[in-house]
Structure 1
Amino acid sequence: MAGRIIKTLILARKAMNTNQNPTPADLRDIGLKATGPRMKILDFFHQNGGTHFSAEDVFRALAKDDQDIGLATVYRVLTQFEQAGLLIRSHFESSKGDSRAIYELNEGQHHDHLVCLECGHVEEFVDEAIEKRQQDIAKNLGFTLQEHSLALYGHCQKKNCPNKSKT
């Protein structure tokens, strides 16, 4: 199990930090068969590292490039990649009250998120003071913190933000 986790993190870091596309052997190393859809989706995340995507975003982007992958296949592969530890899934709320699953490459380092309620844009951040405060709160309440997620919601201040809805 630990070996698979290490191989998964190595593959994710390779996807994030190099110009070298992941290979079929990389997927086999983490216990997944290297099918065409898996390789196309993994390549997509490699080409767009550090960005957050819904299954629909991945589907639309691949369809734009004439990739013949159905939406159900995209959902299935994203779930498999999440279970293998290659992707992280987060659920973010919108101002409309709905929630959507967003996927990103698992870089092996914890970070938190800022989410724009208007346009849905997601920014990652790391703040050691916040991390320490959360540990202190857990300890003071008699908990040993194992993991957490923090998403802060607001409105981005970018004028003419290309992500903002046109409503």
Structure 2
Amino acid sequence: MNFDLSNLRQKFKDRDYKLTPQRQFILQVFINNRDKHLSAEDVHNIVRQQANDIGLATVYRTLELLSELEILQKIDFGDGRSRYEINETNSPHHHHHLICLTCGRVIEFADDLMEDLENIIAKSSNFTIVDHQVKFYGYCQECRKKRDD
């Protein structure tokens, strides 16, 4: 996704929203942390270091709005907290996640091996699939080493 400020302003304007300084600040957190999957609490902790006047409720509302505008992608890893990441593509099939059950680390992988399976399921069930999420749960290399020692 191109984060040209004029394009973002237009995207907000098209939906009758404003790209406020608080929203820009929160969006900048994701631009600076592209490789992370941040929760609202994570974002709030980062924001508080530089702008302690932005409250947690503002962060939650902004994350929901950015998700609604498809600027961020909202992800559920099953830990009770929604996580967000920059929506780098307009395609819903961009990458999947490996989630460590010990440390909670999230590793992305880009191979979309589900396309053939989606086509089979769509044909056999007469169902139009528009999205999917793949999450594998297990143990990262570091945690596996600790378990084996």
Which TM-score band applies after superposition, normalised by the shorter structure? 0.7 to 0.9
Describe the shift of the 1:50–1:151 C-alpha distance in structure 2 as closer, same or farther (beyond 3 A): same
CA RMSD across the alignment: 2.2
Q: What does residue 147 of structure 2 align with?
A: none
Q: Distance in 2 between matches of 1:68 and 1:143?
A: 47
Q: Provide the secondary structure at the position in 1 that maps to 2:137.
A: strand
Q: Quick check: 1:53 aligned with 2:38?
A: yes
For residues 11-160 of structure 1, what are the structure 2 equivalents within 5 Å?
Answer: 13-15=1-3, 22-23=4-5, 25-31=6-12, 32-94=17-79, 99-108=80-89, 109=91, 110=93, 111-158=95-142
For residues 145 and 73 of structure 1, the distance between their equivalents in structure 2, rounded to whole angstroms, comes to 34
TM-superposed deviation, 1:69: 1.0
Amino acid at match of 1:144: T
Instruction: Judge conservation of contact 1:50–1:105 (CA < 8 Å) in 2.
Output: no
Show CA shifts across 1:97-139 (max 9, x none).
Answer: xx21000111114221111222222122222433322332332
Tell me the SS of whatever aligns to 1:89: strand
1:9 maps to what in 2? Answer: none
Runs of 4+, deviation exceeding 4 Å? none
Q: How many residues align?
A: 138
Q: Distance in 1 between matches of 2:99 and 2:125?
A: 28
Aligned 8 A contact 1:51 1:104 in 2: yes
Preserved contact between residue 96 and residue 133 of structure 2 (Cα < 8 Å): yes
Cα drift, residue 64 of structure 1? 2.4
Deviations 1:66-94 (CA, angstroms, capped at 9, x unpaired)? 44311000001001101111011011114
Q: Aligned equivalents of 1:27 and 1:128: distance in 2? A: 28
TM-score by length of 2: 0.80
TM-score, length basis structure 1: 0.72
Identity %: 40
- How far 1:65 sits from its partner (Å)? 3.1
